[in-house]
Amino acid sequence: MEKSRQKSTAKKIAVVIPAYKVKKQIEGVVNSLGDTFDLIVVVDDACPENTGDYIKKKSKKTNLEVLTHSRNMGVGGAMKTGYKYALEKGIDIVIKMDGDGQMDASKIDALVKPLLLEIADYTKGNRFYYTDQIRLMPKNRIIGNIALSFFSKLSSGYWNIFDPNNGFTAINRAVLERINLNKISDRYFFESDMLFHLNLARAVVLDVPMPPIYGDEVSSLSIKKTLVEFPIKHLRNFLKRVFYTYVLRDFTFATVALFVGTLLTLSGILLGTYNFIHSYSLAQATPTGTLVLVLMTSLSGLQLLLSFLSYDIQSTPHVPISKVS
């Protein structure tokens, strides 16, 4: 953080670091943080390397606290413990920083600034902003992030962000007090699930450009498993978001467009498929009238779905909770 920022600043800022098998990197990560933070919390997630005890002995920082889980709860579980602890200590802004050394502490100012200016409630890193640095990323992560970013936009409603699984984030107290942390995923889906809950709370989320940093650490996240498991969870969240936002909280033309559009599109597809199979089995051409009906039904449905999508994109939260709470 900037040297000019003092602990007496009105906003109290904390850094939470979930720690699991990062004993080699944790000391460097903690030491990279300046002395101006009000609190640094390392959450040892039942690490077999006893990372928490190690950094407690090694670090001389007086603002360091180490919390230890008796069983492994995943990165989400560790962060929820850290968030709750920060709230208890009266912290106003909480930064999430992984313990594997892949995050540049000098970029914390950029993460925190939108929150201090009250133009955002939650900020996150985006490693895809600088195109000349994307080549530094492993190709499998690039492909995986592109696919998952689309699913995340759909499920969270934040069409303006990218790199949803980036764990370098900052959040203000007003949002933390509004969302139910216990309902957020405990493991690697944590960041994506967080975005879903932030949208339900109508929080403003902004991307902050971050350079990708990769060392010799080995990720325990399976890309193949992620590409199978995450889309299913994103679909679940999308359906929940649609129900909460467009049925329970409000009922607008977008709601009608979504449901009628879905009905017409599916009807067109099913009708077209049935008639194609039926005509093929009889070795006859499909009647022109039937083709027109199928096309009109499908196209009308698609047009309504596009109308809903346009409305949903425009409905991205833009007024920070910190300004209205």
- Which class for 10: exposed (0-12), middle (13-18), buried (19 or more C-beta within 10 A)? exposed
Are 241 and 259 members of one domain? Answer: no
pLDDT at 314: 94
Which structural domain, as residue segments, surrounds residue 299?
A: 251-323
**What is the rounded CA–CA span in Å between residue 227 and residue 233?**
11
CATH of the domain at 111: 3.90.550.10
Are 19 and 84 members of one domain? Answer: yes
The edge-to-edge listing of strands for the beta sheet with 169-172 is 64-68, 39-44, 13-19, 93-96, 169-172, 122-126, 205-209
Are 239 and 257 members of one domain? Answer: no
Task: List b or e across 224-235, with b for residues whose CB sees 16 or more CB atoms inside 10 angstroms.
Answer: eebeeebbebbe
Q: Quick check: 106 and 155 in contact, CB under 8 A?
A: no
pLDDT at 225: 66
Are 160 and 194 members of one domain? Answer: yes
pLDDT at 221: 56
Are 145 and 262 members of one domain? Answer: no
The answer to whether residue 287 sits within a structural domain is yes
Q: Give the domain-ending residue among 245, 276, 301.
A: 245
Q: Give the domain-ending residue among 245, 261, 290.
A: 245
Q: Give the domain-ending residue among 221, 245, 269.
A: 245
Are 87 and 223 members of one domain? Answer: yes
The answer to whether residue 1 sits within a structural domain is no
Are 20 and 164 members of one domain? Answer: yes
Are 91 and 202 members of one domain? Answer: yes
Are 181 and 258 members of one domain? Answer: no
The answer to whether residue 88 sits within a structural domain is yes
Q: How many domains does the chain have?
A: 2
The answer to whether residue 6 sits within a structural domain is no
Are 238 and 283 members of one domain? Answer: no
Are 257 and 241 members of one domain? Answer: no
Closest CA to 115 of 92, 96, 97, 98: 92
Are 210 and 256 members of one domain? Answer: no
The answer to whether residue 281 sits within a structural domain is yes
In this predicted model, what pLDDT tens digit does every residue of 103-148 receive, in sequence order?
Answer: 999 999 999 999 999 999 999 999 888 776 666 676 766 777 788 8
pLDDT less than 50: residues of the chain: 2-8
